[in-house]
Amino acid sequence: MAAAGPEVPDTQEVLFERRGRLGVITLNRPKAVNALTAGMASAMLEQLTRWAADDAVAAVLVQGAGERGLCAGGDIVAIYRDMLDGGSATADFWAEEYTLNALIADYPKPYVAFMDGLVLGGGVGISAHGSVRIVTERTRLGMPETTIGFVPDVGGTLLLSRAPGETGTHAALTGAHLSGADAVFLGFADSYVPSTRLADLAAALEEAGPENGSADTVVARFAEEAPPSQLAGQDWIDACYAGNDAGEILRRLRSVDGEARADAAAAAEAIAAKSPTAVKVALASLRRVKGMPLAKALEQEYRVGLRFLAGADFREGIRAQVVDKDYTPHWQPATLAEVGDEDVAAYFAPLGTRELRLSKEHNNV
């Protein structure tokens, strides 16, 4: 057995260490809520591949440094700069990141994710595809991409499409932050553990293995019943979000009456403020991805993502929300009615030589 201890990667933005039989990944950008960079994704992909072949490692844990969250998503400021420069760094980053997501989903050992605090966008990709997914009372999970003129990616479209009823569509189009209980209900997480017990759980996982209890067995000793999800039993969600017409969804939301009226109106207001193009393409993505394996879903998201890189709304959304922070994006087109079916279909058209091929790439473990 190799000696336990730190394994220093090329970047200190993500740290690797073996503690007993547990390989520990710590995202280490706490000031940026551990936003994922290309270097971090590459280092994780390399280390996970090594650990998959290391008999001394029985399970892997991913966690975030600091108190604010696991990961607030991809480094969108870096993406913005790359778009302004007309570079290819973002396309290269996504290819590496999506390969990492696919590897996590097929990982041959228990992959435990502490989904504590903020878990947004890319943070979902490195956690919700794992085999042991843990949320807490502090979890705030979301796929808020439509707010910045983009669409859910990192396999998020597939996860959202599998959620009960139309709750995934609601989460995708509104970009709402969800609780740990909501994450369990939607299928993004498995277990609910109080945040104060995570350190003890991590210590217990160091000895987990086939001969003395699996990772699932260890987690079960710490888990509690999740509180009720605010999304459960909301019949108006299924009624309003059915179908493929974003404009009709808005009309239904605005016509809800009774006890759900305020919630439906708030959802309509949230969707109406998003990029019309992003809303329509996100809805089409969720409908198209149903029944796909994850690799194919990621390939579709890559194709759609590159088309957004070449458009105006993604750049404008980041500018308004993150760079200038004036929170007044000028979407092009400005209304859902101006985004035609042919415009949406163009986002899914083949890219030719730029296509991402994941069906075989991640099977090297």
pLDDT tens for residues 239-266? 999 999 999 999 999 999 999 999 999 9
Contact by Cβ (8 Å): 108, 52:
yes
Grouping H, G, I as helix, E, B as strand and the rest as coil, residue 7 is strand
Q: Does 365 fall in a domain?
A: no
Catalytic status, residue 316: no
Residue among 20, 23, 69, 74 flagged as catalytic: 74
Grouping H, G, I as helix, E, B as strand and the rest as coil, residue 98 is helix
Q: Does 107 fall in a domain?
A: yes
Q: Does 361 fall in a domain?
A: no
Q: Does 364 fall in a domain?
A: no
Q: In Å, how far are 123, 132, 190, 246, 267 from 129, measured between CA atoms?
A: 10, 9, 11, 28, 27
The model's pTM: 0.93
Catalytic status, residue 233: no
- For residue 291 the two structure tokens come to 């029944």
Mean pLDDT for all residues in the chain: 93
160: domain CATH number is 3.90.226.10
Query: 153: Cβ–Cβ under 8 A, 6 or more apart, which residues?
Result: 94, 98, 121, 125, 145, 298, 301, 302, 304, 305
Question: Which pLDDT score is estimated for 364?
Answer: 45
Q: Does 363 fall in a domain?
A: no
Residue with tokens 């090297």: 364
Q: Does 342 fall in a domain?
A: yes
> What is the number of domains present in the chain?
1
Which residues span the domain enclosing 168?
Answer: 5-354
Q: Note the maximum CA span of the chain.
A: 64
Alpha-carbon distance of 59 to 24, in angstroms, equals 9
Amino acid at 198: L
Amino acid at 292: M
Q: Does 83 fall in a domain?
A: yes
Q: Does 67 fall in a domain?
A: yes
Residue among 82, 97, 116, 153 flagged as catalytic: 153
pLDDT grade for 358, boundaries at 50, 70 and 90: confident
Catalytic status, residue 74: yes
- For residue 253 the two structure tokens come to 């939301």
Question: Which pLDDT score is estimated for 363?
Answer: 46
**DSSP state string for 184-253:** HHHTS-SEE--GGGHHHHHHHHTT-BTTTB-HHHHHHHH-BPPPPPTTTT-HHHHHHH-SS-HHHHHHHH
Residue among 145, 166, 190, 313 flagged as catalytic: 145
Residues 208-245: pLDDT tens digits?
Answer: 776 667 899 999 999 999 999 999 999 999 999 999 99
> Which among 53, 218, 230, 253 is positioned nearest to 141, based on CA atoms?
230
Question: Which pLDDT score is estimated for 8?
Answer: 43
Residues 44-99: pLDDT tens digits?
Answer: 999 999 999 999 999 999 999 999 999 999 999 999 999 999 999 999 999 999 99
Percentage with pLDDT > 70 across the chain: 94
pLDDT beyond 60 at 194: yes
Catalytic status, residue 153: yes
